[in-house]
Chains A and B, each alone.
Chain A
Amino acid sequence: MPFNSIHFIYFFGVICPIYWLFRTYYKIQNFILLGGSLYFYAQVDLKLCLLWAFISLGTWLLGNAMETYRQRKAILTLGLLLIFSQLFIAKYYNWLLGDFSGALSIYKLASTIGLSYYTLAASSYLIDIYRKKLSPVANPITLGAYLSFFPQLLSGPIPIAYKDLPQYSLSRSISLTTIEESGQRIVWGIFKKVIVSGLLAKPVDYIFYNHSDLGVIYLWLAIILYSFQVYMDFSGYSDMAWGIAKLLGIKINSNFNSPFISRTIDEFWRRWHLSLSAWLKEYIYLPLGGRGSSKWQYMVNIFIVFFMSGVWHGANANYILWGSFNGLLFVMAILIDWTREKNDIQYGVKGFFSMLLVFLSIAFTRVFFRSPDFVTALTYYQEMFKTSDFSMPDIGVVELGLSILIVLIEWLQRKELHPADISKWSLPVRLGIYASVIGVIYWMWPTQNPTEYIYFKF
C-alpha cells in the first residue's frame, strides 16, 4: 500500500481521526497504531506479518530478560542471532537455499519488503538495552507500535531505539503548524516521487536496457539521471513518511539533507540515507573504534561500514561491489585530505566544481546499483569509455533540467531545516506556492500512478 495510492488515502482517512479521538490516551493510540500498521503490512503478505510478530515478540521478551537476568551478553547475542537469522533466511531465501527451499517453505514470501528496516530497528532496541542507554518497555504494545509504525515500516527511516522509542510512551499533540509542516513535506515528497522520479524512470530504463546500441554520452547521461531518480524516489518517499508520521504526532528521522549540494565525499554521506548511516555509525563504526588513533584504522573502519551497507542492500554481488566502490571513494578522499567540517557552509566557484565532482563520482558507482548482474555492469562501464559514437542525447533533457531545478531549490533553502520549509514566508505567499505545486502535481500526474519504490526491495 504505497503512500501515493488511493487505498492508502482511505486507510489514513480512517486511522487518523480515530487516533486523535484518543489524544489523551497514548496507550490506546499505540494500540491503534499497531492494529493499523499490521493491517497495512498484511496488504503485502500475511506471512510477513507473522514473521514480524515473531521477531517483535522475541525482541520484547529478550529485552526484558536482559533486565532480569545477569547473562546480558548471552541474551543480546541470542537476540541478534534471532533477528538476523530471520532476515538472512527470508531475504536471501532463493539464493541461500536453492533446491532445498522446500524444507523451509514457510520463509518463501511474496516480498521481504520492510524486513531489512524493522530488523535493524529491533536490533537497535536490544543493543541499546544492553548498553544501558534504554530501559526495556514493559508493554509489548508500545514496542509493537514502534517496530511496526506504518509510515516507516516499508522503507524506513530506520529508527534508533534510545532516541526514538521514548516518544511512544508520551502523549502526543497536533497543531495547525504541525499540519502545515507535514503538508509541506508530503506535497514536496509526492512531487519528487510521482512526478520527477516517474519522469526520470523512462529515459533511465531505456538507456540501461539499450546501452549497447547507444553512444557514450547517453551512457553518462543515464548514470546522472539514475542518481537523480534514486534520490527523488527515496527522498520523496521519506518526506511523505515524515509528514504522515508527524500528522500522527510522531517525529521520525529525516533521511536526506540535500545530498547533491555536497562538496566532499564525507559530506555527501552526512547528507544521504541518514538513518542507515546513523545506524551503521552507532552499531558498527563506533564499536569498531570510529576514527581510532590512526588514519589507517579510520580508513579500514570506513571501508567495513560501506561493505556492510552493500551487504544490507541485498544478496547480490553488485550491491556489495557498489558498497565497496563507495567505501574506496571515501578512503581515497581521506587519503588526499579531501574532507570538510560539518559547519563549513561556504560555497564559491570552487565549491560548485567540488559539488559536480562529488556528484559524478557517486553517480559513477551507481552502474553496479542499477545493473541486473555483474557482467552487465562491467559491459556498461566498458561502453562508457568507448572511443566511438559521441552522438548527443535527444532524451532525458527535460528530466535533467527538472532535477537540476530541484537541487537549485535545495541549495537556496540550505539554511532551512528542510528544502520544503517555507514557514518564514508570509501566508499569502505560502498559499500561492502550495497552490502552484499542487496544481503542477495534478497537471503532470502520470496516467499510470508509479507505485513502485526503488528502496522497497531492500
Chain B
Amino acid sequence: MPETGIREITFAEAVREALAEEMRRDSRVFIMGEDVAEAGTPFKVLSGLVEEFGTARVVDTPISEAGFTGVGVGAAMTGLRPVVDIMFGDFITLTMDQMANQAAKVHYMSGGKWKVPMVMRTTLGAARRSAAQHSQSLHAWFSHIPGLKVVLPATPYDAKGLLKSAIRDDNPVIFFEDKMSFKLKGPVPEAEYTIPLGVADIKRLGTDITLLGTSSMVQVALEAAVMLEQAGISAEVVDPRTTWPLDEHTLIESVKKTSRAIVIDEGYGRYGVAAEIAATIAEGAFHYLDGPVKRMGAMHVPIPFSPPLEDLTVPTGKTVFDTAMKLCGRS
C-alpha cells in the first residue's frame, strides 16, 4: 500500500464509501431497509446517501423484515442489485425463510438459470447494554446454508474492500458489521480497491501461537497478542474475513507454523463458527499441534442486560491472554 493517498477513516465511513462508490458505478444497486434514508440508520452509517441518490435508491421500508428481504430476492433475480439493511443481527430470525429457503436455493434449484445478486447488511456483537434481543452474533446460522456467502469485516480497510466485492458478487452475501466497531478508525486508501471474498488476512505475524479471530474478536486477539508479547510469547493473529468461502489454507498453514491455536468468535461457542474453524484446523494441522485447538465464543446464555453480567459473556483480551498462556504451558 503506498503511503500517499491513505487516510484514517472510521469503519462506518468505510461502509458508507463502499456503498456510495458502488451506487455511482452501477445504477442497479439500491439500498432498502428500516430508517435507511433520512435517518441513515440508528448508527448513522448511511448518513448522506439519500441526499446523493434519492429516495428511489435509498428506500425506507415498513418494519417487515421478511417482506422486504423477499422483495430483495425477487428484485435481485430480475435485474437489480439490492443491498438489504437489517438493522440488528437479531432480526435475521425474521428473514430466515427468504434467505435460507429462497435466496440460497434459487440458483441451484433452477439448474443455474436464475441468480440472486443481493447483499444483506446487518450487525453482530454484544457489549452495548442492549440485552438479549439486540446483542447476538448469529453469523453461524447463515454460514451453515449452502448457497450463501458470509462476510465478517474487522477493520475499516476490510469493510470497504469486502463490501464492494459483496455488491459485485452474483450470489446472496450476508455482510455482518460489529456494532462496537463503527467508530473504529483505520487506514483506508483513497484510490479504489476491492478485497476478494475467501481470502484470509494475517493481521499480525507471530511464531508461538495462532489466534484466529473473526469480526469483533480480531481487535480482542490483537490486544491479547500485545499482552502475550510482554510475556515473551509471539502470537500470530489470523482473520478469515469470510466464513464462507473459507480460506482453509491460510488458517492451516499458520497453525502448522505455530503449533497452537485458539479460535475466537463472538457467536455462541456451541455448534458455531469457532467450532467449524477449530475442526478445520484439527483436520488440516493435526500432526503439527502441540495441544488441543481451543474455542472461545459467547457464553451459552441469552446476553444479559446488566453490565457486569454482559461483560462476562464475551471473550476479552484478558481471557484470551489467559487461555493462550495456559496453552503455552505458562500459567
A and B assemble together = no
Interface residues of A (CB under 8 A from B): none
